[in-house]
Amino acid sequence: MKQKLTTLWNKYVNYETVSYFICGVLTTILNLAVYAVCYNIFVASEQFAPLAGTIANIIAWVVAVIFAFFVNKIFVFKSKVWRGRALFDEFWKFMVARLLSFAFEEVFILVVVDLLHFDYMIFGKISVAKLFASVFVMIMNYFASKFLIFVKKEEKPDV
């Protein structure tokens, strides 16, 4: 049993997975910080106050996804692609994958929390549904990045 656990640990706990986790934590912190700053700016404005949370969340999400693209590209998957079309391909695939995972999370929260009213809170503040969705999205994004976006291949000259 110990041998199996050691094998699983060595297979799944490595530079790539640990750096992905660290970059994910940094991205989350950035997302929360940008959200807080933007929310406070927009809520103070009469014109934007009614939509302060939505506007702040969109801005925070965009900033966080762009940050995530570069830290994942450079530090996690060590992609060496920095030329025209190939770089654009990585970027748009990353954005599409993140939009799909965002849509999944939104639909999951809508169904589980808003429609089924099946949400429990941990410590009175942390949504179990949001936590579950976030973990699933993180895993989904990792596999999309590893197998669809930052696929290791030889860099070819732009055509």
Q: Does one domain contain both 89 and 74?
A: no
**Is residue 123 left, alpha or beta, with left meaning phi > 0 and alpha meaning psi from -120 to 50?**
left
Split into its structural domains, the chain has a count of 2
Q: Does one domain contain both 63 and 26?
A: yes
- In a 3-state reduction of DSSP, which class is residue 78? coil
Check if the beta carbon of residue 97 is closer than 8 Å to that of residue 141: yes
Whether residue 157 has pLDDT greater than 70: no
Q: Does one domain contain both 19 and 87?
A: no
Which carries the bigger pLDDT value, residue 1 or residue 17?
17
Q: What average pLDDT does this structure show over 35-62?
A: 88
Q: Does one domain contain both 74 and 85?
A: no
Final residue before a domain boundary, out of 22, 48, 78: 78
Whether residue 159 is contained in a domain is answered as no
Final residue before a domain boundary, out of 52, 78, 104: 78
Q: Does one domain contain both 21 and 69?
A: yes
Whether residue 159 has pLDDT greater than 50: no
Of the given ranges (1-5, 36-40, 62-66), which has the lowest mean pLDDT? 1-5
Q: Does one domain contain both 28 and 1?
A: yes
Whether residue 153 has pLDDT greater than 70: no
Q: What is the pLDDT of residue 16?
A: 94
Q: Does one domain contain both 123 and 72?
A: no
pLDDT in tens, 96-150: 999 999 999 889 888 888 888 777 777 676 678 888 888 899 999 999 999 999 9
| Confidence class for position 47, pLDDT limits 50, 70, 90 | confident
Q: What is the pLDDT of residue 156?
A: 52
Structural domain harbouring 41: 1-78
Hey, what's the torsion of the CAs at 152, 154, 157, 158, to 10 degrees? -30
Question: Which residues, in sequence order, are bridge partners of residue 126?
Answer: 122
